[in-house]
Structure 1
Amino acid sequence: MTKKIDFRPVILAGGSGTRFWPRSRRARAKQVLALDGERSMLQQTVERLSPIAGNEKVWVITNELLAAEIESQLPGVPRSQIVEEPVARNTAPACGLAAFLVEKSNPDAVIGVFPSDHVIGDEPRFLKIIQRGVQLAASGDVMVVLGIEPTRAETGYGYIETGDSGPADLDDSALRVRRFTEKPSRNRAEEFVAAGNYFWNSGMFLWSARTLANAVREHLPEMAPLLEEIASCYGTPEFEQVFAKLYPKCENISVDYAILEPRSAKGEHYSRLYCIPAEFGWNDLGSWESLYEYQVETRSRGDEEGNVAETSGLMTLDSVDNYIYSPKKFVALVGVQDLVVVETEDALLISHRKHSQDVGKIVKELAATGQTELL
């Protein structure tokens, strides 16, 4: 970076990752699993940011079920900066709390919000784009979102519509944001890709602590006092009690809906909301299907028949395009195609790849029927 900026990554790691059941459980959610490589998704997220932000600058927002595992995986992150939500809430309360916590020590610090379950193929390029975004976010009352150049008419992602170029004196590649659109229909997604000025919403945001805290005060006036009171108790014996009392009163709403969409509604020349187009091998691993596709595309795994397997041995006969996880057993595939087979010590999942998004419904049914030992 051309000027020294206090950069604080905030990693959102509170999700349960139900679509990766049975490997993902309440106390072993997907972000603490090594789904792609030997390091967990969370460890990879922190490590790729380490060249521009040491572990002592990192904050992790999680829950009490995952906190101990996260602490063991990230020994360099201060335990006090692994914040345990007392109840599950969406990204707006988590981001807002981080803003008020960081604002206490340095309102000018730039907060980078990062989901804990993404994979990045080109990490050097990723870091260069983050550095540019940090510079832009530090320039004033500015919000920055990383937009991924779409490669297909994906209906599972949100989209960012962009307009004019941003401030040439800061970053002439940044584009002003016109509006956000949540997961569109197939026809609309095709229109977005054809238009050329739409990008996938990566869920990665950059803004100063002051900018985000003020945005929470403006757009979430009922939530802001709750989060400010929680933050004011941080580091005191009363913190956990106040956190547990007030946080459940916060609205369950995403930062996109609560802050970014109202900001974009001001008009692209007034909102100071910018998108930096990015292409660095990004993938949002949201299901067994997306993990399979990523590993085939990157050739990190997969045989000549398109089978991706983590087993003690594999034999195939007339079987193509399957995902198999059974690390302690030899597996034979005969005449099957497009399957997901995942074995753990106490459960076995068999699904068609195209239906792997529905695995979360199994988890809901297990909860509804009281089979909590499988959660």
Structure 2
Amino acid sequence: MGLDRDALHAIILAGGAGTRLWPLSTSRRPKQFLDLTGSGRTMLQETLVLLDGLVPIERVVVVTGRRYAGLVRAQLPGLPPENLLVEPRALNTAPAMAVATALVRARRPDAVIVNLPSDHYVGQAAEFRATVTAAATCAAARPVIVVAGVVPTSANTGFGYIEVGGGGREAGEPTVHRALSFTEKPSRSLARSFVASGRYLWNANYYTFHVDTFEAGLATHVPRLSGLLWPADGTGQAFVDGVYATAEAVSIDYALTQRARNLYVVAASFDWSDLGSWDQLYAVLAVRSADRAGNVLVVPDTRLIVTTDSARNLVIQTSPRAIALVGITDSIVVDTSDALMVARRDDLQQVRAVVARLAELDELYR
């Protein structure tokens, strides 16, 4: 059975409220609603662009929290109102994917779905579409869940690791492999062994599946959540509110991926980052916009930024004013109307601690 492209749908998860890119990204306006790369589009809008020519906006469902529904409507004006699902409360990725899948299934019982985060960086859109096409072709033909995997560049303990087995090509597209195992957020020593083996990929959190396969997986591994969804029409906000009234918070990785025996993986041929830290954003931007000293300036007026004996810094600014860097190296400077942060790139793990300390002054920063 080949892929019926009219059956291909997309779910975009846009409910995250991360503050790892504070002070630019806050719980009031998190990173998916920001232009982080200087493209002129927010990360949410960039995610939709990835689907150009693959999935029309009429077949895209966006899941977000109440606080961000207005931002989604403003940034995606072409999204049909019935395709925006609003979470009454944050319950992580499994319930979000589940209610969106139920909605799609009610409209198109033979749908194949690709699930996308709204705040990741993808460097080559054409390669991304080829990857999704290969995954969707496989998912349409077999009862499998296909994830996109990225070659690890470090022993990062914040990602899931997929052990890659044998595979074959789908319709001349990238090779789809059987996943031998999946380990979510391993210890540092285990992550190092995974990277050293050369047999593992990072889970980039792009899931592709037939709606029947996803339903069967939830029924097997998360029966309580599954029982809230089917049988149901899955249409409308009232349905979402009903599910969220009693559903438990759980990520799709822990609920399903780590337990599934029908997991497949396709190696991504595109540059990718989850932009989970300022250091990662610097790495993405430095490839194309660093000056001779390795400084990256994302500012309204570069003439106001003076660097002397300074190298490998990232300067982000929202309103133009003069900034002088003298003898500064390997640092991040973020200047917004609400706050100023200056940090060494190797100290960025402390950002969350800073945000926690400022929580009592929350209204001053939002």
What is the TM-score when the length of structure 1 is the normalising length? 0.89
Judge conservation of contact 1:325–1:342 (CA < 8 Å) in 2. yes
Judge conservation of contact 1:146–1:278 (CA < 8 Å) in 2. yes
**Distance in structure 2 (CA, Å) of the matches to 1:306 and 1:67:** 38
**Distance in structure 1 (CA, Å) of the matches to 2:227 and 2:43:** 33
1:305 counterpart = 2:293: yes
Judge conservation of contact 1:226–1:247 (CA < 8 Å) in 2. no
1:314 to 299, 305, 309: 305
Judge conservation of contact 1:159–1:198 (CA < 8 Å) in 2. yes
Shift of 1:308: 1.3
Match of 1:267 in 2: none
Structure 1 residues 354, 228: closer, same or farther in 2, change over 3 A? Answer: farther
Query: 2:23 corresponds to which letter in structure 1?
Result: P
Shift of 1:128: 1.0
Q: State which drifts further: 41-50 or 321-330.
A: 321-330
Query: 1:44 corresponds to which letter in structure 2?
Result: E
Structure 1 residues 183, 3: closer, same or farther in 2, change over 3 A? Answer: closer
**Distance in structure 2 (CA, Å) of the matches to 1:17 and 1:285:** 11
Match of 1:360 in 2: 352
**Distance in structure 1 (CA, Å) of the matches to 2:213 and 2:140:** 10
Shift of 1:12: 0.7
**Distance in structure 1 (CA, Å) of the matches to 2:172 and 2:308:** 58
**Distance in structure 2 (CA, Å) of the matches to 1:105 and 1:125:** 29
Judge conservation of contact 2:164–2:265 (CA < 8 Å) in 1. yes
Judge conservation of contact 2:99–2:240 (CA < 8 Å) in 1. no
**Distance in structure 2 (CA, Å) of the matches to 1:261 and 1:167:** 24
1:288 counterpart = 2:278: yes
SS where residue 19 of structure 1 aligns?
coil
Give the % identical residues. Answer: 39
**Distance in structure 1 (CA, Å) of the matches to 2:25 and 2:258:** 32
SS where residue 101 of structure 1 aligns?
helix
SS where residue 152 of structure 1 aligns?
coil
Shift of 1:213: 1.7
2:69 to 67, 84, 88: 67
Shift of 1:79: 1.6
Match of 2:32 in 1: 31
Aligned residue pairs, count = 360
Judge conservation of contact 2:134–2:175 (CA < 8 Å) in 1. no
Shift of 1:228: 4.1
Structure 1 residues 273, 336: closer, same or farther in 2, change over 3 A? Answer: same
SS where residue 71 of structure 1 aligns?
helix
Structure 1 residues 364, 199: closer, same or farther in 2, change over 3 A? Answer: same
Match of 2:151 in 1: 149
Judge conservation of contact 1:62–1:83 (CA < 8 Å) in 2. yes
**Distance in structure 2 (CA, Å) of the matches to 1:336 and 1:142:** 51
Q: For each residue in 1:71-102, what CA deviation from the matched residue of structure 2 results, as whole angstroms up to 9, or x when unmatched?
A: 11111211221111010111111111112111
Structure 1 residues 139, 2: closer, same or farther in 2, change over 3 A? Answer: closer
Shift of 1:356: 2.1
Judge conservation of contact 2:88–2:241 (CA < 8 Å) in 1. yes
Shift of 1:261: 1.4
Match of 1:256 in 2: 253
Query: 1:209 corresponds to which letter in structure 2?
Result: V
SS where residue 35 of structure 2 aligns?
coil
Match of 1:178 in 2: 180
Shift of 1:328: 1.1
Judge conservation of contact 1:93–1:227 (CA < 8 Å) in 2. no
Structure 1 residues 52, 80: closer, same or farther in 2, change over 3 A? Answer: same
Match of 1:133 in 2: 135
Query: 1:256 corresponds to which letter in structure 2?
Result: D
Judge conservation of contact 1:145–1:276 (CA < 8 Å) in 2. yes
Match of 1:15 in 2: 16
Judge conservation of contact 2:134–2:170 (CA < 8 Å) in 1. no
Query: 1:318 corresponds to which letter in structure 2?
Result: D
Q: State which drifts further: 26-35 or 159-168.
A: 159-168
Judge conservation of contact 2:279–2:345 (CA < 8 Å) in 1. yes
Q: For each residue in 1:149-176, what CA deviation from the matched residue of structure 2 results, as whole angstroms up to 9, or x when unmatched?
A: 2233333322101223258899782211
**Distance in structure 1 (CA, Å) of the matches to 2:185 and 2:265:** 18
**Distance in structure 1 (CA, Å) of the matches to 2:26 and 2:320:** 19
**Distance in structure 2 (CA, Å) of the matches to 1:177 and 1:166:** 13
Shift of 1:3: 4.1
In the TM superposition, 1:76-225 aligns within 5 A as 76-165=78-167, 173-225=175-227
Shift of 1:183: 2.5
Match of 2:338 in 1: 346
1:46 counterpart = 2:39: no
What is the TM-score when the length of structure 2 is the normalising length? 0.91
Query: 1:86 corresponds to which letter in structure 2?
Result: P
**Distance in structure 1 (CA, Å) of the matches to 2:314 and 2:172:** 45
Unpaired runs of 5+ residues, structure 2, are: none
